[in-house]
């Protein structure tokens, strides 16, 4: 039977980036990592993917997904912010210009997670959110205070047990509930912004928009790779990036939530 596929057309660099991210995440399946939608072909701007059939969420699938996601994270990355191999330039995700030998003025690789998170994930979206009046100047100062602590390394914290404390995890990077596809055989990852980051970021984003059976996912994750003490208190910190992205794109309520999350961090 021919494989069932579907296609989407993106800007060529975006199609390349998504295909590379899916393949990089899928490489962890050999060590028990999470299932990932198969890239069938990449034809310039056209990305051809395996067609998946949706099914109702199941708690057993949620628990197994948690176990598998822990193993995906444990596959690791070479540097903080590392873009997946095969991405043009193989630079730091979110950088205005990729750090390559031909671009010596490009930003250096971040020294630690806090520097990466503040510089490449928070501050660019904060500037844009302020520019569209989604975040007030006073609210921006609350976020900037968090960013200063992050850059100084004061908010760094260990990874889950399967990773060394200061080793980047292999994260999906945009793991809201809509990017977890429930099928008859289990959960499948789609639409990543994959990079080397902190494992708690993926889990915090699952919580932000309400994944079904999230407690089962977390229980399965902790069975395989227990989270560092105090992880519940850091959920606001890890949700700050998606909240700022939404404040930039949609304004209003998301800006207020981003500022509230920043204030909860300090």
Chain segment 143-163, per-residue pLDDT in tens: 999 999 999 999 999 999 999
Question: Class of 5-265 per CATH?
Answer: alpha beta
Residue 174 appears among annotated catalytic residues: yes
Q: One of 152, 174, 216, 256 is an active-site residue; which one?
A: 174
Higher pLDDT, 36 or 93: 36
Using DSSP's 3-state secondary structure scheme, residue 68 falls into helix
Q: Identify the CA nearest to 15 among candidates 65, 49, 51.
A: 49
Residue 263 has pLDDT above 80, yes or no: yes
pTM of the model: 0.92
Using DSSP's 3-state secondary structure scheme, residue 109 falls into coil
Neighbours of 78 (CB within 10 A): 11
Q: Provide the pLDDT for residue 86.
A: 82
- Condensed to tens digits (0 to 9), the pLDDT of residues 170-200 reads 999 999 999 999 999 999 999 999 999 999 9
Contact 40, 5 (CB under 8 A): yes
Contact 258, 247 (CB under 8 A): yes
Q: What values do phi and psi take at 187, rounded to 5?
A: -90, 140
d(CA 96, CA 81): 13
Contact 228, 167 (CB under 8 A): no
> Which pLDDT band holds residue 102 (cuts at 50, 70, 90)?
very low
d(CA 265, CA 147): 11
Q: Provide the pLDDT for residue 94.
A: 63
Per-chain mean pLDDT for the chain: 92
> Which pLDDT band holds residue 97 (cuts at 50, 70, 90)?
very low
Q: Provide the pLDDT for residue 100.
A: 33
d(CA 62, CA 60): 5
């Amino acid at each position: 039977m021919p494989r069932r596929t579907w296609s989407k057309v993106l800007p060529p660099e975006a199609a390349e980036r998504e295909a590379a991210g899916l393949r990089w995440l899928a490489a962890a399946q050999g060590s028990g990592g999470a299932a990932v939608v198969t890239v069938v072909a990449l034809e310039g701007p056209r990305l051809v993917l395996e067609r998946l059939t949706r099914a109702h969420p199941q708690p057993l699938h949620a628990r197994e997904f948690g176990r598998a996601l822990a193993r995906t994270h444990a596959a690791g990355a070479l540097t903080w912010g590392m873009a997946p191999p095969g991405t043009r330039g193989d630079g730091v995700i979110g950088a205005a210009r990729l750090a390559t030998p031909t671009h010596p003025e490009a930003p250096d690789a971040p020294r630690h997670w806090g520097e990466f998170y503040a510089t490449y994930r928070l501050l660019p979206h904060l500037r844009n959110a302020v520019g569209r009046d989604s975040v007030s100047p006073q609210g921006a100062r609350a976020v900037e205070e968090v960013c200063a602590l992050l850059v100084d390394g004061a908010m760094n914290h260990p990874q889950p047990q399967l990773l060394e404390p200061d080793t980047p995890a292999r994260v999906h990077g945009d793991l809201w509930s809509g990017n977890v596809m429930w099928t008859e055989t289990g959960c499948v990852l789609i639409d990543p912004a994959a990079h080397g980051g902190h494992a708690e970021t993926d889990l915090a984003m699952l919580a932000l928009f309400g994944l079904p059976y999230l407690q089962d996912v977390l229980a399965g994750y902790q069975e395989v790779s227990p989270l560092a003490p105090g992880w519940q208190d850091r959920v606001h910190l890890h949700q700050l990036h998606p909240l700022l992205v939404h404040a930039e794109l949609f304004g209003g309520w998301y800006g207020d939530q981003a500022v509230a999350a920043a204030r909860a961090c300090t």
